[in-house]
Structure 1
Amino acid sequence: MTDPLTTALAYHEAWTGHDFDRAMTHIADDVVCDAPAGRIEGAEAFRAFMGPFSRILVSSTLLAAFGDERTALLMYDTDTVPVRNAPASEFLTVRDGLITHLRIIFDRTPFDAARLAAQGIPT
């Protein structure tokens, strides 16, 4: 059986490598994701949430990765089309080789400002 850190790193490598379909092979059907936007439940809802972000990703640098027998913690910097240098972290729970829960932490403020600027709204 794959340990949680190996699963988390495989998932991270896939989505940051622009292969979101491969990333989803590491996600349980009944996944729960807690993110700044709120709770997301189920693999299809998670795909709808995370898929668009993976498409605007330019690059990602993994800063740290730790794991135990049930969980993994990843911290990374991302460079996206609208926002450069957007650090994030994910706390992942893994069961039977699949990610069942993610808690994603990132600052939404620069993304909100970029969205408003793209609409011509001063920030």
Structure 2
Amino acid sequence: MITSEIKVAEILPSTLDSREAATRLVKVIKEESKCNSKIEIDFTDTIFMSRSFADQFHKDLHTGEEVLDISFKNASNDILLMLTAVSTTQTQRKAVNKNYKVLNFSDIKSLEEFSFSW
């Protein structure tokens, strides 16, 4: 199995604080995954990860059909805790029902009867 290493500090600043940065990192990871089956993400010199970065990173990483074999290297405890917190709060969103029933009433009495019937 070929392992590839991605050094976050070579791609992004030491503070990971934007959703755009997360999307950029995931693009690099997915490109690399086309060539290599296992990817190590090296967080050396990364000092901070915001909740918004972690949220977008998790969302983008789990979008699509591909299964990625990723491990984290040299990540601080704060970064690991943030990634864990986000991964445990993410859920799949359910589609909203967009079929609505429209009722027409010819007078207020009919509306009252309908309203008080349930």
Judge same fold: TM > 0.5, yes or no. Answer: no
Structure number with the higher helix fraction is 2
TM score, norm. by length of structure 2: 0.24
TM score, norm. by length of structure 1: 0.24
Structure number with greater Rg is 2
Structure number with the higher strand fraction is 1
